[in-house]
Amino acid sequence: MPDANHSERVINVADIDPRHRHTILSHLFEHLAPDQSLQIVVDHDPRRLRLQLEATHGSRCVWSYLEQGPEVWRVRLRLLGAGSGDHG
C-alpha cells in the first residue's frame, strides 16, 4: 500500500485524552469514506483498539502496520464498503 495520500488523516494518539481515545478513534474510523484512510501514531501496539474495531466491523476493518515500535507504532486503518472485494 502506498504511503499516506491526500485523503489520509494522521492522528497522534498522545494528543487525545486517554479516557476518550478509543471512542474518538472509533468515531473517526466509522466515518471514513471508501477512498480514505486514517493513520494513528502511538507509543505502544494498539492491539485493544484493533480487537474493538474488528469486533464491530469484522473483515471490513483493514489494519496495516507501517511501523512496529519499539518506541513509535504507526497503523493505517481503512473501512471497506459493504460487499467490497478491495483488501489493499
Q: List domains and CATH numbers for the chain.
A: 8-79 (3.30.110.40)
Euclidean distance between CA atoms 67 and 27, whole angstroms: 23
pTM above 0.85, yes or no: no
* CA proximity to 80, closest of 66, 55, 56, 62: 62
Confirm if 43 and 14 have CB atoms less than 8 A apart.
yes
Confirm if 35 and 84 have CB atoms less than 8 A apart.
no
3-state helix, strand, coil in the chain (%, to 5): 30, 30, 40
Mean pLDDT of successive 10-residue segments in the chain (88 residues)? 63 94 93 87 95 91 95 94 58
pLDDT digits over 63-84, tens only?
999 999 999 999 999 988 766 5
